[in-house]
Each structure stands twice: as C-alpha cells, then as structure tokens.
Amino acid sequence: MDLKDNVILNHKEIQHKIRRIAFQIYESNVDEPEVIIAGIGNNGFVFAKKLKAVLEKISDITPLLCKVIIDKKNPLSEISTSLSPEEYTNKSVVLVDDVLNSGTTLIYSVKHFLNVPLKQFKTAVLVNRNHKKYPVKADFKGISLSTSLHEHVEVDFKGKTHQVVLE
C-alpha cells in the first residue's frame, strides 16, 4: 500500500489546524499578557513552536515556550521542563503534544504541572485518537480519529512539507 493513501492530514491542512488551534488558545487567554506553551518531548515541542509562531502573529499575547522532557516508555520517571516552576506559577499553561493516544504521556505531564498553582491549564493536540486509558481530554484538537489499537498515527514535521500518516 502506498503511504500517500494513508495521509490523514497534508501540509496545508496541518497549517490550517495549527492556525485554528492558535486562535482557540488566544480566545481562551484573551486577557492574559503571556501564556506558557509547553510542548511534550520531540514532536509535541515542534508543534508547540509552530503554535507559538502563529500566536505571535495573531495576538498581543507573549507566548513563552517550554519543553517538557518525559520518558514516554517510563512516564513515572522524573519529568522536567525547560522553564523553572517559578516561571509558570500563576500563569496560563497550554500543554501540547502531537498525538493523544492512550493519554498516558499527557496525564503524567499534567501531573507535573499540578505541583505549582496555575491560573489556567489547557491541553492541545494535533491528532486526538479515541483510545484513552486515562480520563484526559484535549481542550484544543486538530482532528479526532477513531482508529484500531493496531494502527499507528505518525506526525512528520521533518522537511518542508509536513503530514500525518496512519500506518
């Protein structure tokens, strides 16, 4: 089977989803001077950077980028962030990942942020799969998919054209 047949979102569609999610983040933080955009690991952080760039263009909010470092194979291990807890205390935080699969990575990342008082906490994902093991939801999502447990969703942010593929 040709991988082109399995493309769920092409580059143009991804750009549209990023812009729409950025507007939703802006709308829910319209009175905030700054918002923490916390991207999980590799692709979640790339997605967070893209959201930050659009937020800077469409709003007067200052988005601060934060990288969330989590061992996805062992989410109980210590989680760290590129910002200190003092930098996001009493601020609005949006936790960002590329794909919400079982919810494990997202829920353990949420737990990390619950150790400090926050003004508001939201989650954003590009792809929301409907196989959650934990009661975690994406407040902002690009697309929701009902897939089988055997299928894999891959977000490719490498190169000039991006795509989301179902494998």
Model confidence at 2, pLDDT cuts 50, 70, 90, reads very low
CATH number of 126's domain = 3.40.50.2020
**Amino acid letter for position 66:** C
User: Which residue's entry shows tokens 């003092």?
Assistant: 86
Give, in degrees to the nearest 5, the angle at Cα 80 between 74 and 84.
165
Full domain range(s) for residue 162: 3-166
C-alpha to C-alpha distance for 62 and 164, rounded to whole angstroms = 29
**pLDDT tens-digit map of 20-68:** 999 999 999 999 999 999 999 889 999 999 999 999 999 999 999 999 9
**pLDDT tens-digit map of 78-126:** 899 999 999 999 999 999 999 888 888 888 898 889 889 999 999 999 9
CA distances, 146 to each of 17, 86, 110 (Å)? 18, 39, 24
Q: Please give the DSSP secondary-structure letter assigned to residue 114.
A: T
Structural domain tally of the chain?
1
